[in-house]
Structure 1
Amino acid sequence: MEQLDLFAAAEEAAVPATFASHSQPLAEPAPRPRLPSVQASIPRPRRATPLLTDNPREAGRRLGEAVAETWHASNWSGYRIDIPVSIVGALALFPIKGHGEQVTSIISSSNDWKLLQGYREVYAHTWAHRPDLGARMAPLMSWLNEENAEEKAYAVRRVTETAMRYGILELTGDPDPHNRSDTDLMSWTITSLRSHGARQGLGEYHTPPEVCDMMAAMIIGNEPPPKGQWFHEPAGGTGGMFRAIAQHLRHLHQDPADYAWALNELDPLSAAGAAINAIVWGLGPNVVIACGDTLAQADLQNQAVRERQRLFEERDQILGYLAAAEAVHEAMELANRVAGGQTN
């Protein structure tokens, strides 16, 4: 299956425009996004523990539990767990890698409006580069377009501070996808936010990472599979099995982006988490994530493949319209300047 290879471009993207206003360039070797020069409106979060000496999986578990505790202690607790999951996802997708301290400064210096707008732009940026995965993240984006989104800003900021304090930018901000694939933050966050009863009702029990690692070693073995091979997960959750397979491929000196990945998941929130993880873990351009009942919809995966093609075509069409509109706008400005010069 062919697809435009847009993932590499996403790796070197600029800071979202709202976060980048009134700024100074970052240090090399990263691209040169700009930092706010305004006084920080909140104190810079400090790590709860020295993350670099931690087991990343244990750090991921603690982060998920801390986010859940913060959210449930806020005024917007309860059933709206899509909001804190969305925040963790946006921070994991933040398009600057390798500059955790500077990214912390960018986000901490943003007022409430800029914080919410910045998260909107992170997801818009993701859609522009990966519309197939961006569309699957729709359950995490809808609250940002609700009329009362600003009313949630206090709780959003508290969750943001907690996630940064517990090291999300270090767990997901390394330029090397191998180092970003040590833990499944989306799984820890979703399962920590959901009650035991909710998990039972959904039949949601994500496979422990140690078990996934063992299964991946058994499936792949010591010889790398041929490039282009598909890996399928009929009930994949947030993609923990894919994480283990990708890491095992890397241990065999293979690039997971040279393979293809197909995952089905019944729960839209977990499917959205899998879409985020596919980018964070560097699974590459050939990823298909379907959301639905695999047993009831025999053609679910083929539907997802067709939808994926349509989403890329729609994205290209929309970007074409935007480019044309921008060109017309620039032409009109030029004409106005010329007319103004003649009048004078």
Structure 2
Amino acid sequence: MTSKLDQLREMTTVVADTGDIEAVARLKPVDCTTNPTIVYKALGEPMFADAIKEAVAWGSKQGGIAETVVQTVADRLSISVGAELVKLVPGRVSTEVDADLSFDTEGSIDKGRKIIAAYEERGVTRDRILVKLASTWEGIRAAEVLQKEGIDCNLTLLFSKAQAIACADAGAFLISPFVGRILDWHKKASGKDFTAEEDPGVLSVREIYNYYKAHDIKTIVMGASFRNAGEIEALAGCDRLTISPALLDELSKDDGKLERKLSPDTVTNVEKLTVDEKTFRWMMNEDAMATEKLAEGIRSFAKDLISLRTMVRKELEQAA
């Protein structure tokens, strides 16, 4: 029998949500997504010991403010992880703009350009990379500029239709609606469990997918942040799904029948909306879940970014 993972690959582009080189080589996803948490964990693996030594040696030769050097070395290491992943996948690798730039449009644009330049220095062309930005109003505006420069963007930490519409209006290449984190909020708020068909995260992605297809929006919908295989199965047919190695393994061992749930051929008509800044901020204000989970996600990624920079700082001090 064909596994559910293989069946899923027939209808959805499967992406690995990991920096685990062994898992990527074994599971053979089309794309990979990373974030500060994933990069920090990956750098703990023995295979990146030489990359850390190289980056620290490089950083030790740089002049200027010490903290700027720390941040630059941390950026270099993020690119090192991404460059290794590029070797293993035929598609794209997402590399995240610093979480502490989530409300800084110009800073995000500058960092996005630097990410692409750093990859190009290593011979990795921009068509292999997605610059990952938080779906704040400022992050979306940064993506609008970068997209016009030929730098494709992945808008992450997306929890609402308001964010999805604003991203589409900005011409974003791809969005990553977070299924599991939406479920987490609703479980905590209501005290109840949800089946896959009732799952608020699943329903949110289905609504966004339907809106995009109904209006022929080219932005790719990539469901992310899954808590269980049921959520993934309930979104079979979505443009892309980024899945952890544990859930990819679970799907690969299940030879049950997988039913397609999403298709461009079965969308329903919905009203086309335009979301300007005032409307965006009001819609987010009225959506407690989206507001809280967006802020929480930025804080979490910022915490892991600090952990990465702390590790770099210690390595630089020891090398001095």
> Structure 2 length as normaliser, TM-score?
0.27
Which protein, 1 or 2, shows the higher relative CO under an 8 Å CA cutoff with sep ≥ 6? Answer: 2
